[in-house]
Amino acid sequence: MFFFSGIANDQTIEQTLMKGMSVEGGPFKRGATESVVYKWIRGVIYSQGIIEGIENFCNISFNKSHQHSDSTDARIDRDDIDVKLLEDFFVQHSLFPDTDAVISIDTGITGDKDINCYDAFEQGLTAMKKTEGQTLLELKSSRKDKINPLLAKNNKIKIREDVITVEPLLLFQRICVLKKTMKSFKII
């Protein structure tokens, strides 16, 4: 007895009829004549109901698919072990440690008290409030109002008394734009 499964016709053919045709030693090996293949295919059509009934009665299913080679018991057990190892690693090496410092997820650089990029919006509002009612000539900027990115922790140079943050990517891009020849690039 067959029931409508609600799957498309081609998927039904793939899941039922073609499953039996992909067994080892099927007719599609070297040396099989067209008449042998024809007889075998006709036999599969008639025996498919019997094969499916036996599978249902025994509560087993003989599936063979190269697409599902990762679903073997050995592979599932191995994947479970790998997932457990990964979980143990992340328990021991937390990606997001409980700390008050700013930490770069990419590089692991930890900021100190001078790094304030996480609060840039609030500091910008505070700086704007200080300038209310002033003319352009009266405006003065203070170093303490400067936003210091996490990049400033390691990538900074001192010119005279000023400490300046250097962004390597931006510096490289500007050099590439300004170079005219390879000779001028070597001078830099």
The better pLDDT of the pair 27, 184 is held by 184
8 A C-beta contact, residue 52 and residue 45: no
| pLDDT value, residue 16 | 58
The better pLDDT of the pair 77, 25 is held by 77
Cα–Cα dist 89/86, whole Å: 5
Residue 103: DSSP 8-state: B
Angle at 85 between CA 80 and CA 86, to 5 degrees: 95
114: pLDDT strictly greater than 50: yes
What pTM was computed for the model? 0.36
Residue burial 11-21, b: 16+ Cβ < 10 Å; e: rest: eeeeebeebbe
| pLDDT value, residue 82 | 94
| pLDDT value, residue 83 | 94
| SS3 (DSSP) at 170 | helix
Supply the mean pLDDT for the chain.
Answer: 76
| pLDDT value, residue 121 | 92
The better pLDDT of the pair 81, 104 is held by 81
Percentage of the chain beyond pLDDT 90 is: 7
The better pLDDT of the pair 26, 108 is held by 108
Q: What is the pLDDT of residues 29-88, one digit of tens each?
A: 566 677 777 787 777 777 778 878 888 888 877 666 555 566 678 888 999 999 999 999
8 A C-beta contact, residue 37 and residue 27: yes
The most confident of the ranges 15-19, 74-78, 85-89, 99-103 is: 85-89
